[in-house]
Structure 1
Amino acid sequence: MSVHDASVRARPGRDGKRTAQKAVLEARQRLTSSSGTRADFDFELMHDYADSRIGAAMPMAAIVSILAIVASFWVPLMVTTIWAGLVISSLLVVVVTARRFKSVELHKFNAARWTTSFVAAESLGGLALSLLALFTLVTDPEALAPVMFAMVLVSIASNAIATHTLPPATLMSTLPVTTTVSISLIALGGTLNYTLAAVSICGEIFFVYLARQLHNSELETITHQAEKDTLIYELEEARNMSDEARRHAEQANIAKSQFLATMSHELRTPLNAIIGFSEVLKSELLGPHQVPQYKEYAGDIHASGQHLLNLINELLDLSRIEAGKYELNEEVVSLVDIADDCRRMMELRAKSKNIELVFSVGDNLPRLWGDERAIRQVVLNLLSNAIKFTPQQGKIVLVVQRSGDGGQLISVKDNGPGIPESEIATVLSSFGQGSLAQKTAEQGAGLGLPIVQKIMDLHQGRFDLFSKLRFGTEVIATFPRARVMDALAPVVEKRNRLEIYSEAG
């Protein structure tokens, strides 16, 4: 199993485990939360509440002082001063509690305890504000009613905004003053006072509702931020895992290529000796064999050795290409001459199967800039495959001509059994063999076409395979116009690459 396959198979298990751990963590945090959300969300909300209370301490003290000064026009200065002092003192208690909370770390945070502390401090402030109703005992209540109403609305609004991230604190900081002042206004009687009391109660309900909406909006923002942070973390983790898997795959690929190269070199030395001595025995250079079968055995040894040597050479070429160590020895070459040489080399094999090998060349083809050995290997591999899978008395057409873009191409077309469309990707992969090769037990390791593809890539060319079951196969290796030494203008009329299909029709 490859490193990549192992990482892919292990990933679902890791993802499931991570999901389960996340669910358990969220359930545990909800159990320790005071609001039914996650404990870390409570921490963020209380942190915002503490910042708001600390930041608004001076403005709130200034508002209370201004209200006291305004009230002193109707109420004795001593009374308003005492009231303002009590309210500011309770505000100081809230600020001190908030500062204590700011020094707490998340892992030591207890949502229920700190919620209770803040609600208690806000209740103290709410009770101090509610003493506003006692102003009616020392002055004319009818004249003071509108003033108290205005002071209540200002107190409710300012506290609701400052404490919206902690709804219980909002309620306890505003409800006492609303309740006492409303009762006082109702006790005074009269349409105006009833109206002021009703508006005060409605104002309390509105600002508490507004604070709750602001709290929900803040909680939603924190939730989205947490989800985004989690997604970023998971993406970063996935990227790191992908990079690690890629590094392992690259190392494994390099190790594989180095192993293949080393083993190929180690195997070729004794194999050359086997091939050489079997050639001597097969040719009876040292005299005829006393047992006739020995000559046949020597021929089998020589043929098997040649097959193994070809396989090792293909492995070595593939490993060098994949390791980036395959260097092209480029020079000016004739694609026609190379193709003709390869045709003559393979003609004997074709005749042994009564296969007609047709060679067609375009007019006035210029030379190419490329690696003669590599191009020769491409043509030999293509012809060898065609001869291998073309049946007795079949036909193979080898074509060298200009391509539609002004480059040059080599085409090998046969009328063999063809390749199923579902197997084309397989036969183009390293060590891949189609069902026909497996059924007929044809010799080969499935490296010829992958090597052809990689050699064409090194020449900045392309390799195409077209096949239809029971009608034949056509393979085309195209060299780019940039490699043609005397490039002509592109040919407008393109060649129909799949003539086998029209012939079938």
Structure 2
Amino acid sequence: MKSHASETESDILAINKQRALRRREMARSVRDIRSRLGASDTRQSTFEHERQHLFADTRINAAFAAPLLALIVAAISSLWVSPQFMGAWFLVTICTHFLMVVISHSYEKAPSDQKVRIIWRRRFVIGDFIYGCSWAMFFLMPEAIGSGDGLVIFHFATLLIVIAMNTMQSANLPKCLLASTLPITFVVTFSFLQQSSAVHYTLAAMAIGAQGFFLILGNQLLKNANTMLEYRAEKDHLIAELETANSVSDEARRRAEAANLAKSRFLATMSHELRTPLNAILGFSEIMKDEVLGPMENKNYRSYAEDIHGSGDHLLNLINEILDLSRIEAGRHELHEEPILLEDVVAECGTMMKVRAKAKSIALHHSHQADLPRVWADERALRQVILNLMSNAVKFTPVGGEVRINLGPTTDGGQYVSIRDNGPGIPEEEIPTVLEAFGQGSHAIKSAEQGTGLGLSIVQALVSMHDGKFSIRSRLREGTEVTVSLPPSRNMSYAEDTKTSAAEAFDPRNRKARSA
């Protein structure tokens, strides 16, 4: 006994530790998500870091495109400039370009807490300024004698291409954009203004205008990037809210499942504990009301004994129904299926209800279609279903009324049982309440016999376990009709003269193959 108790206590401690761990994990996840949600006020600073990431990613992706452009420019410029100068310039430009690539790679590999440091922005700005100065050196290369206007035109075309390229690469960081383009524009403009011709003045003015145009274009690209990042942030916030709701709902579901399991265990235990004294109450009260040990001189005592026996019988029925419902909800109710005739079950239930119906002068009408096949079902469960429905029909039908029980095939090939009475009916808005556990309609509360309100809940659960359907139709002051239908997969062909035993012929493992 001591070892069993210690094992039980250890199991309880393990369960409590698991629950505490789940609660801590859920609280931590909710706290993290809510902290992310509360960071919406710092959205602009977050965008600054996101733009730095986009800047570094763009530079890494263009690691080989920019050197290719520099190589083409150096090769063409060799027509007007000494190849030695162009080779030296090309090496300097390639070095500054790959310096920016290395800085971008270092930024991407840096930890998150270091990426927010301002030193990275300074490195990007300085690196872009050096890169822009290396391109500005191209326009200061000494030209060969007699180069003509070809080099001037090529300089201006190179200016437009390089500024456009730097704008696309550095638009996410405005300071880097200025650092990479202004040195080029300044050198080209200054170089053109040194020449005393209208063409050079015109190209200098166009260089300044191109610089302004690309700055406006870079500003528009920056706005587009901010808009994209804002949408992404809103999406992240929405996902965070959904994660929070999901975490809360998961924890609530776990608590509900634990509470439901505890409730089912409690009901099962209490129902078992209540039955023992209740059996004594029922036994002794029955002896007293039947005067088994001798007559009672006081008639009131006998009336009290009858009341005690009736109340105890009602309480026993309530306990039995609560136990059945809790066993079904806990998933411990097992079906003992076998081939049965639904007609026999309905007839047996009708016979059991004749006494109660006769006491209220209620006529029971039974009709069924002949040659219905057997069904594979739990006979006890179906009997409980039909008895509950017949009992409700007789209970709510007034004196002198009638109850009709119909049995037949459904349109899809299954079988159904319908029970219709001409009682007071149920208001349409009360039908969902009646179908709930312990739910009773207004008429049942006012005038009906004693009831627990669990009958229809048990009926629905048992029918669902048979893959069937339960429906209720009612009209006020006209009556109520309830229908239980079993699916076609429950039907089966059963020959009385077969040599195979029923257990082998109707094995549940083979039922799907036969129904198919």
| Interval containing the TM-score (normalised by the shorter chain) | 0.7 to 0.9
Stretch moving more, 147-156 or 59-68? 59-68
- Residue 27 of structure 1: which of 38, 41, 54 is its match? 41
Amino acid at match of 1:292: K
Report whether the alignment pairs 1:408 with 2:415.
yes
1:427 matched residue in structure 2:
434
In the other structure, the counterpart of 2:456 is 449
Q: Read off the aligned partner of 2:112 and give its amino acid letter.
A: L
Change (3 A) 1:281 1:162: same
When residues 389 and 177 of structure 1 are mapped into structure 2, their CA distance, relative to the original with a 3 A threshold, is same
Alignment partner of 1:260 is 2:267: yes
Residues 128-139 of structure 1: matches in 2 within 5 Å?
Answer: 129-131=135-137, 134-135=140-141
Find the residue that maps to 1:430 and give its secondary structure. coil
Cα separation, partners in 2 of 1:259 and 1:177, compared to 1, 3 Å:
same
| In structure 2, distance between residues paired with 1:370 and 1:92 | 79
Counterpart among 42, 47, 50 of residue 53 in structure 2: 47
- The yes-or-no answer on 1:353 pairing with 2:371 is no
Contact 2:30-2:244 within 8 A present in 1 as well: no
State the shift of 1:248 in Å.
Answer: 3.0
Task: Confirm or deny that 1:313 pairs with 2:327.
Answer: no
Q: Decide whether aligned partners of structure 1 residues 410 and 129 sit closer, same or farther in structure 2, where only a CA change above 3 A counts.
A: closer
Deviates more, 1:192-201 or 1:270-279: 192-201
Query: What is the rounded CA distance, in whole Å, between the counterparts of 2:71 and 2:465 in structure 1?
Result: 85
Secondary structure in 2 aligned to 1:477? strand
% of aligned pairs identical? 46
Describe the SS at the equivalent of 2:295: coil
**Residue 299 of structure 1: CA displacement?**
0.8
Deviations 1:430-476 (A, max 9, x none): 11111222233642221101111222223332221110112110111
Stretch moving more, 373-382 or 306-315? 373-382
Residue 94 of structure 1: CA displacement? 4.6
Query: How much has 1:152 moved relative to structure 2?
Result: 2.1
**1:119 correspondence with 2:125:** yes
Which of 197, 201, 220 is the equivalent residue of 2:204? 197
State the shift of 1:483 in Å.
Answer: 3.7
The SS at the match of 1:399 is strand
> Residue 42 of structure 1 aligns to which amino acid in structure 2?
E
Question: What is the CA-CA distance between 1:183 and the residue it aligns to?
Answer: 4.0
- How high is the TM-score relative to the length of structure 2? 0.77
Query: For 2:481, what is the secondary structure of its paired residue?
Result: strand
- Is 470-479 or 392-401 further displaced after alignment? 392-401
Aligned match of 1:106: 112
Q: Deviations over 1:206-260 (max 9, x none)?
A: 4444444444444455445555555555545544544443333333322222222
State the Cα distance separating 1:478 from its structure 2 match. 2.2
TM-superposed CA distance for 1:287, in Å, is 0.7
Q: What is the aligned partner in structure 2 of residue 3 from structure 1?
A: none
Contact 1:361 1:400 (C-alpha < 8 Å) held by counterparts: yes
Q: TM-score, normalised by structure 1?
A: 0.78
- Shift, 1:65, TM fit: 6.5
**Pairwise CA distance, 1:281:** 1.0
Question: Contact conserved, 2:33 with 2:241, CA < 8 A, in 1?
Answer: no
Q: Write the deviation string for residues 78-121 of structure 1: whole angstroms up to 9, x where unpaired.
A: 87677667756765765565466445433344465543443344
Q: Match for residue 462 of structure 1?
A: 469
- Describe the SS at the equivalent of 2:365: strand
Task: From the superposition, tell whether residues 477 and 99 of structure 1 become closer, same or farther in structure 2 (CA, over 3 Å).
Answer: closer
For the residue of structure 2 that corresponds to 1:325, the secondary structure is coil
Give me the whole-angstrom Cα distance separating, in 2, the residues matched to 1:270 and 1:199. 106
Distance 1:124 1:287, change over 3 A: same
Corresponding residue of 1:6:
none
Matched residue of 1:188: which SS? Answer: coil
State how 1:101-500 maps to structure 2 within 5 Å: 101-102=107-108, 104-110=110-116, 114-127=120-133, 129-131=135-137, 134-135=140-141, 143=149, 144-232=151-239, 234-440=241-447, 442-485=449-492
Cα offset for 1:376?
Answer: 2.1
Q: Which amino acid aligns with 1:351?
A: K
The answer on whether the counterparts of 1:149 and 1:200 sit within 8 Å (CA) in structure 2 is yes
Rate the CA distance shift 1:452–1:367 in 2: closer, same or farther, 3 A: same
Corresponding residue SS for 2:292: coil
Does the 8 Å contact 1:416/1:472 carry over to 2?
A: yes
Q: Which moved more, 1:389-398 or 1:228-237?
A: 228-237
List runs of 5+ in structure 2 lacking aligned partners.
1-27, 495-516
* Change in CA separation of 1:67 and 1:475 when aligned onto 2, cut-off 3 Å: closer
Supply the AA of the counterpart residue of 2:476. Answer: L
How far did 1:346 drift? 2.5
Whole-Å separation in 1 of the counterparts to 2:40 and 2:128: 30
Aligned length: 466
Over 3 Å counting, the alpha-carbon distance change for 1:236 and 1:77 in structure 2 is same
